[in-house]
Amino acid sequence: MDPRDVPKAPAFPTPTLAPVTFADQDDGGVQGGGQVLARTVRGHLPPGAPDFLYLPVEVPPGVRQVEVSYGYDRPDVPAGTAGNACDLGVFDQRGIGPGGGGFRGWSGGARTGFAVSAGQATPGYLPGPVEAGTWHVVLAPYTVAPQGLDFTVTVSLTRGRPGPALTPHHPPQAVPGRGRGWYRGDCHLHTVHSDGGRTVEEVAALARAAGLDFVNISDHNTVSAHAHLGPVARDDLLVLTGEEVTTRNGHCLAIGLDAGDWIDWRYRRRDGLLPRFVERIHRSGGVAVPAHPYGVSFASQWKFGYGHADAVEVWNGVWTPDDEAALLTWDNLLTGAARRGEGRWLPAMGNSDAHRDPDTVGLPQTVVLADGLDRDALVAGIAAGRSWIAESAGVGLSFTATGPGGAHADIGGMLTAAADAPVTFRLRVSGVSSAAQVRLLTDEGQVLAAPLPPAGTLEWTTTPQASAYVRAEVRHPAAGGSVLPGPVAALTNPIWLAPR
């Protein structure tokens, strides 16, 4: 076999374990209110086990709550070898197919179990009817030790009539009376509904303290927080509903989804399913933004390429070398877009990815030019690259281009002029150290590096034939001896130049 011939994996495999039934415990009705039917399953997974295994659970009529607990062994492994880690979720009787309507929740490795009923559910899971049929508990062995993974799953069904259904309180999609302007937001935030340590109320309070105008809640692989966000959204803070689509080949932010919409994550690049779910994000009103493409945690590096992305997260939390790598990759993509002349380019954004203390909400934040403080306008601004990134609300910035005859362009825009016409770029910065450094970069690379002038304003002139785009960075001083530039305080999306 030619080593270049890689076998094609079957799309979306659904390997299943032996089903769990309760026939010998079933009293045939709801008259036994409160009766608990329970089964425990034990099994062993070898190294190389499938990404997702499905444990069918036959739920009889008259059940008001499904409860599942699980555990697995954690044997010692040699240094540098991955140990056991196994995630948990559930689908109901409506099915487990790609994008399946049966999704009822996901906790990953953050919890040891869950419970679901009509009106209540463990955070990460969706309340709703408990209907008879085949449910599926999902076991997702993230990593398996050389010895294999021994697991135990206990399924408990409580009989009885369903209680009252949960009334969701989704946040509004707009703040009335807010016109065109620059709005600050953090679109990568986690709560107790996935692996975060903060409630939605705590996240909202921290966002207000950080001077943000909007946030996007992006819990891993679940949208259970959406129903609880309405009470924390007020006229001073727009709360968008989203998800971090956490695949085995990288993570993607779904920003600005319709409330309650869930995006499937159960695929790798080789399955060819990403375009289908990016389109699902778009139909839901959102944008798809690969997160921390060079992340250092397991399976967090983005492997899908950027052909279907609407933007890319180049700055994630405190500035680190993986952000530097993401920034360089993004800049190369800009240069490629300039060479092809296709008119389509990939904007950059930055978010905190805050989970718990001491993570700082709003470090960094994306400042978006939008026609209003509303979901559709912000999503459009992000996708168009009408934005820049700041380390805090204390940093101010403007970046413009002016050509002959009063021609003008802002960040994310395009200025058209004669090929040899002079175009002047003006950068104005406030709220940074007097030791800050300014870099201007074009498709040729860095064209200017200088201390920020005392007045905070710098000008530079080029022509459309010399520069396809210009973008700006504001950097803190580099640490002693570092070969890398200093940490970023602010950076912009490009302004494009086109020769007439």
Domain count, the chain: 3
Give the residue from 322, 332, 330, 317 showing the smallest Cα distance to 295: 322
* Rounded Cα distance, 487 and 318, in Å: 9
| pLDDT confidence tier of residue 483, bands split at 50, 70 and 90 | confident
Residue 2 in this model has a pLDDT that exceeds 50: no
Q: Please check whether residue 5 lies inside any domain of the structure.
A: no
Q: How far is CA 281 from the centre of its chain?
A: 12
Give the residue from 58, 48, 297, 219 showing the smallest Cα distance to 148: 48
Same domain, 389 and 412: no
Which of 378, 394, 410 lies at the terminal end of a domain, its last residue?
Answer: 394
Which of 104, 128, 159 lies at the terminal end of a domain, its last residue?
Answer: 159
Q: Convert the pLDDT of each residue in 316-343 to its tens digit.
A: 999 999 999 999 999 999 998 876 666 7
DSSP string, 67-103: EEEEEE------TTS---EEEEEEE-TT--STT-TTE
Q: Please check whether residue 2 lies inside any domain of the structure.
A: no
State the DSSP H helix or E strand holding residue 389, giving kind and residue range, or none if neither: strand 387-390
| pLDDT confidence tier of residue 11, bands split at 50, 70 and 90 | low
Same domain, 313 and 404: no
Residue 466 in this model has a pLDDT that exceeds 70: yes
Instruction: Report percent pLDDT > 70 for the chain.
Output: 95
Same domain, 153 and 230: no
Same domain, 421 and 381: no
Domain with 148, as residue range(s), is 23-159
Q: Please check whether residue 1 lies inside any domain of the structure.
A: no
